[in-house]
Structure 1
Amino acid sequence: MTKLERVQAEITQCRACPRLVEWREEVARVKRRAYREWTYWGRPVPGFGDPRARLVIVGLAPAAHGANRTGRIFTGDRSGDFLYAGLHRAGFANQARSEHRDDGLTLSGAYITCPVRCAPPDNKPLPEELTRCAPFFDRELALLPARVFLALGAIGWNAALVALSRSGVELPAPRPAFGHGAEVPLPGGRTLVGCYHVSQQNTQTGRLTPAMFDAVMSRVRRLLDTSPP
């Protein structure tokens, strides 16, 4: 077992946040009618992707009937449909859909993680839950050779900045604000890039379109192509 696999295994066993444990397990027990035949994962969800990834994508938290059901981040919901289709177009995924853990999906050069590993009520983790999950986030980032961090939404953006600061990276002052397409140059030729979250709230209202996502991914690819190895 590699160090990254060890972290992933530890994540799946965590019960540190009583509110999140109660909610994720209740969702897994009650289920949604469309998925009543499923055996829900109902546990914390580890990161997923290429352990040699130079691109790290930072989301928010597992979806109650998506990753909390399937056990893989951004899998089994509309957000994942949008994200993986975009990653496939950009050459980071071998297929455009992510439906369950054994569907053959693999990522090349990219790794997806979240600052919160359990599905939170109303998709709103509490500050103390982010704090409890932070060591897992830090350990994953330390084991990945990332050159570009792509933050999906403001919570992912702030979590990435805080994690980078904890690791000793000197950040600009004041702390850079999140924005779609925002960029923060980091020491060592690394870059933090912002993108609206791929939630239905954004993709179904036109706030984030496939063309907008593709433009961000084109910029990510250029940054990777010009960054030091």
Structure 2
Amino acid sequence: MDETEHPGFPVREAAGAGSVPVLDERVTHCRACPRLVEWRERVGREGRRAYAGWEYWARPVPGFGPPDAALLLVGLAPAAHGGNRTGRMFTGDRSGDVLFAALHTLGLANRAEAVRAGDGLRLRGVRVTSPVHCAPPENKPTPGERDTCRPWLAGELRLLRPTVRAVVVLGAFGWQATLPALAAGGWAVPRPRPAFGHGARVRLPATDGGPGLDVFGCYHVSQRNTFTGRLTPEMLTDVLGEAARTAGLDPR
């Protein structure tokens, strides 16, 4: 077995990463979940007619944004023909169109569209990541895949800890996956764990007496939510704006 295929690969490599860029690079080599590896690579080979001629990334997708972000956005997993194609979180799909338009409205992104890596998109004080870094079949990672991938998110939180002051979690799956990673990253998560809800807000104290963290819940920017009106642009910008202000980012 190649070391990147061992279930312990994320644990070892995340713990040993001394910076966010190093962690991001190590994420891209992970092959610890066989089902996800097979799926992401098959999607990359087969593609989709709309993206004919596009060379898919078809690897784990690392977080995107500055390594000293004050606000962290946590989704679910890369989309098969979105991040799995472009190699950047929430880039090249409808969910990303909604998210980055909201960040641009708030002055937290320099452009409203995310087309491909290298398109010039920059985020101000915000970083985007997910608890599962590979595109899963039907957008549904298994609990085991979620747990295997958790060290990457815990490591990212550990490295962001000097600057991060707020987290927005998109969707119930991300909420359930993120709370244990926050506990591993150095914040005290209450028992029973707080329930997810749009507009939920929980204050987590640091276990070492350092700065605390505000965690916000928001419906996921999936097409099912945005097309049906369950999540409107106004609802999204309200949550993101409140979180950004809490993090000290002064959105417009």
TM-score by length of 1: 0.95
Residue 107 of structure 2, aligned match among 91, 99, 105: 91
Matching of residues 84-163 of structure 1 within 5 Å:
84-144=100-160, 145-163=163-181
Distance 2:55 2:70 in 1: 34
Distance 2:185 2:18 in 1: 21
List structure 1 segments (4+ residues) > 3 angstroms apart after TM superposition: none
Matching of residues 50-89 of structure 1 within 5 Å:
50-89=66-105
2:170–2:220 Cα contact (<8 Å) kept: yes
Distance 2:113 2:183 in 1: 34
Are residue 206 (structure 1) and residue 229 (structure 2) matched?
yes
- State the partner residue of 2:188: 170
Distance 1:2 1:214 in 2: 33
**Which residue identity is paired with 1:209?**
T
Give RMSD over aligned pairs: 1.4
**Which residue identity is paired with 1:47?**
G
Q: Report sequence identity in percent.
A: 57
**Which residue identity is paired with 2:217?**
G
Map Cα deviations across residues 107-152 of structure 1 (whole Å, 9 max, x no partner): 1100001010100000000111111111111111111121001000
Q: How many residues align?
A: 226
Cα displacement (A) at 1:209: 0.4
Distance 1:225 1:30 in 2: 44
Cα displacement (A) at 1:190: 1.6
Map Cα deviations across residues 81-123 of structure 1 (whole Å, 9 max, x no partner): 0000001111111100000001000111000010101000000
**Which residue identity is paired with 1:166?**
A
Distance change in 2, residues 1:163/1:18 (3 Å): same
The 3-state SS of whatever aligns with 1:128 is: helix
**Which residue identity is paired with 2:244?**
R
Map Cα deviations across residues 41-76 of structure 1 (whole Å, 9 max, x no partner): 000000000111010000000000000000000000
**Which residue identity is paired with 1:129?**
E
Distance change in 2, residues 1:223/1:25 (3 Å): same
TM-score by length of 2: 0.87
**Which residue identity is paired with 2:175?**
W
Which region of structure 1 is more displaced relative to structure 2, 141-150 or 69-78? 141-150
The 3-state SS of whatever aligns with 2:73 is: strand
**Which runs of 5 or more structure 1 residues have no equivalent in the other structure?**
none
- State the partner residue of 2:47: 31
Which region of structure 1 is more displaced relative to structure 2, 66-75 or 213-222? 213-222
